[in-house]
Amino acid sequence: MSEITHRFIIRNNLIEEGQLHRIAELRELLPQPYMRITLILKNGAVLYDSSVEDYTAMENHFMRPEIQKSIRNGIGANIRRSETTMQEYYYYAKSYPDYFVRTAVVYNIQVRNFLRAERLFIVFIFVVFTVIGITLYFFTTRLADAITKLKDFSIQAGKNELVEHEISFPENELGIIGSQIIRIYNKLKKTKDELANEREKLFNHLNALNEGIAFFSAERKKTLSNSHFIQYVNIISRKAVQTVEDIFKIDDFKKLNKFLKEYQTDRVELNVESLPQISYVIAAGEKFFKVQSILFPDKSFEVMLSDITRLEKRRLMKQQLTSNIAHELKTPLASIKGYLETMIGNWSVPPEKQKYFLEKAYLQAERLTNLINDVSLLNNIEDAGELFRFKPVDLKLVIDEVYENFANRIVDKKIFFLREVAPGSIINGNDSLLFSIFQNFVENSINYGGFGISVAIRIYHEDDKYYYLSYSDTGPGISGKHLPRIFERFYRVDPGRTRDTGGTGLGLAIVKNAIQLHKGEISVRNKSEGGIEFLFSLAKQ
């Protein structure tokens, strides 16, 4: 009612126009026409009172309890006996900027009930709001808990970490969704990690391979490749190739392109049992590569490049060796046959001549034996080096034995033999191979060095791992143009002469291979003062 009165005053400009008596009009609108309306100025002076005719004479209302309360709280109420009307009233005052509007009703049963009802209503509203408040509090804290945990989870997931499965969510729908999300996330993460692990393993495996390998999608885009692959493609194309996919532009891979073109069409259905494959060899300068490709049912494919240079060279070498051996065997065999034929066809040949022919035939048979022995020794070193038993061997003893073996011939040729190898120079080696090394050296010096030369075998240096040895003689040496090839099989400086000496042309090849089997290396040079020198190492362990 205070509000209505206030608006009524403002709207009708009652104060300025001195029309305050019109407030009485409001009373007619009220359900309780006996309601009293008082307008009080801020200083407490009464401006209008609906129940008092001479309201200008009314005393100052500033100290009225309801006015005091409304000064403090904006509104104020009080029940008391009116000094003006002598009746008990329920006062209600509301403060406005320029005045207070006070309404008052006689405090009878009706008003009492109304106020009680109003109080009850307020209590009811208070209880309802409190209950709603508490419910909301619990609900939102539980919701907030789930949301905070989900937020923590999202941060962890963002960092790609595995999330503790034990995160306990509140038992509400959001909590259930939260735990479910974490379970799914962990499962996915585990699978992803496992896949990454497998991929890493595969990648390491591919890189450890000697083959170059690359996988391509059906659109010929690389999905995976190892480092050998690009390296081999570079060698094959003889230029710097940037990406693995460049192979489809290189001429040497024309055959592969053709193969892919033939099968990578929708018209061709592929089944797992018989996947199309291709395999061919590319020669790139000194090197040979095998190209292999398999096409998978989804039209993706794999390309494998293998460096078969060693195998191919070995194959060619074996081929050459076989024809060399055949050739080497033919000569002594032809001689033996010739001597025997002469004897069979001429029984009248005098006995001395017969003896001569037989001796010649025997010598050739000896050559054959040497040749076969050398070939099989070389083969064994090369193909089955692991069959040679290694044990601690004293080099001094080996060299002494070789000396003893050739002592007569050394004396015959007046060779001065110097051994600077201390006893107890032990290496882990195979004694018969070590014997072969020194035997071949000494035999060559005897055969090609001439009379009165000196031979020296020395250990000139040693370290933790190796003995470094020198074998030299003061013979004619070997001319520069032959020097680089003397370790080749069947290479002879003077073929005619070496055959006379019974040499097979395999001696130095055996020496080199035997030294390599002892983890050593060998080189050769002509000494400035004349003669040949071999420098080589032998591993101690």
* Choice between 486 and 538, CB closer to ligand ADP: 486
State the amino acid at position 179 in one-letter form.
Answer: S
Pick between residue 2 and residue 445 the one whose CB is nearest to ligand ADP.
445
Q: For the packed helices 351-384 and 309-345, what is the interaxial angle rounded to 10 degrees?
A: 170
Measured from the CB atom, is 349 or 493 closer to ligand ADP? 493
Which CB atom, from 66 or from 473, has the smaller least distance to ligand ADP?
473
CB of 487 to ligand ADP, least distance (A): 7
Q: CA 238, CA 46: separation in Å to the nearest integer?
A: 114
Nearest distance, CB of residue 522 and ligand ADP, angstroms: 12
- Are 188 and 201 in contact by the 8 Å Cβ rule? The answer is no
Nearer to ligand ADP, 182 or 455 (CB): 455
Cα separation of 82 and 106, whole Å?
10
Between CA 176 and CA 142 the distance in angstroms is 12
With CB under 6 A as the contact rule, the residue among 200, 404, 494, 521 that binds ligand ADP is 494
332 binds ligand ADP (CB under 6 A): no
Least Å from the CB of residue 515 to ligand ADP? 13
282 sits near ligand ADP (criterion: CB under 6 A): no
Residue 493 interacts with ligand ADP (CB under 6 A)?
yes
Q: Which residue is nearest to ligand ADP (CB)?
A: 507
Residue 366 CB, shortest distance to ligand ADP, in Å, is 13
What minimum distance in Å lies between the beta carbon of 248 and ligand ADP?
49
429 binds ligand ADP (CB under 6 A): no
From 93-101, 188-196, 334-342, 440-448, span contacting ligand ADP (CB under 6 A): 440-448
Can you tell me which of 5, 291, 473, 517 binds ligand ADP, judged by CB under 6 A?
473
Q: By CB under 6 A, is residue 449 in contact with ligand ADP? A: yes
Least Å distance between CB 454 and ligand ADP? 12
CA angle centred on 401, ends 395 and 405, rounded to 5°: 145
Half-sphere exposure (CA, 13 Å, Cβ side) for 528?
Answer: 0
Categorise residue 36: left if φ over 0, alpha if ψ from -120 to 50, beta otherwise.
Answer: beta
Rounded Cα gap, residues 70 and 78, in angstroms = 11
The stretches of 159-280 forming alpha helices (DSSP H) are: 173-208, 227-237, 254-263
Q: Does 515 bind ligand ADP (CB under 6 A)?
A: no
- Number of residues forming the site for ligand ADP (CB under 6 A): 23
Should residue 504 be labelled a site residue for ligand ADP when binding is judged by CB under 6 A?
A: yes
Q: Residue holding tokens 């509007």?
A: 101
Angle CA 117–122–125, to nearest 5: 125
Q: Which of 410, 434, 457, 532 binds ligand ADP (CB under 6 A)?
A: 532
From candidates 9, 235, 508, 515, binder to ligand ADP by CB under 6 A: 508
Interatomic CA distance for residues 170 and 159, integer angstroms: 24
Of the two residues 271 and 528, which places its CB atom closer to ligand ADP in the complex?
528
Q: Whose Cβ is closer to ligand ADP: residue 478's or residue 522's?
A: 478
Kind plus residue range of the DSSP H or E element containing 376: helix 351-384
Note whether 398 and 435 are within 8 A (CB). Answer: yes
Q: Is 5 in the site for ligand ADP (CB under 6 A)?
A: no
Name the residue type at position 369.
T
- Give the span between the Cα atoms of 508 and 80, in whole angstroms: 139
* Window contacting ligand ADP (CB under 6 A); options: 69-77, 208-216, 254-262, 437-445: 437-445
Residue 37 binds ligand ADP, judged by CB under 6 A: no
Nearer to ligand ADP, 70 or 513 (CB): 513
Q: Supply the minimum distance, in Å, between the C-beta of residue 314 and ligand ADP.
A: 20
For the CA atoms of the chain, what is the radius of gyration?
59
Q: Does 472 interact with ligand ADP (rule: CB under 6 A)?
A: no
Strands laid side by side in the 287-295 sheet: 222-225, 212-216, 301-307, 287-295, 277-284
Is 522 in a helix, a strand, or coil?
strand
Determine the interface stretch with ligand ADP among 29-37, 62-70, 113-121, 473-481 (rule: CB under 6 A): 473-481
In whole angstroms, what is the distance from residue 79 CA to residue 90 CA? 4
Contact 256, 236 (CB under 8 A): no
Question: Using the rule CB under 6 A, which residue among 76, 175, 429, 503 binds ligand ADP?
Answer: 503
Q: Enter the DSSP assignment of 206.
A: H
Query: Cα–chain-centroid distance for residue 77?
Result: 83
Is residue 534 within 8 A of residue 523, CB to CB? The reply is yes
Measured between alpha carbons, how far is 112 from 31 in angstroms, rounded to an integer? Answer: 16
Q: State in angstroms the smallest separation of the CB of 316 from ligand ADP.
A: 21
Nearer to ligand ADP, 232 or 448 (CB): 448
Compute the least distance from the CB of residue 404 to ligand ADP, in Å.
Answer: 20
Residues engaged in binding ligand ADP (CB under 6 A): 440, 444-445, 448-449, 473, 475-476, 478, 486, 491-494, 498, 503-509, 532
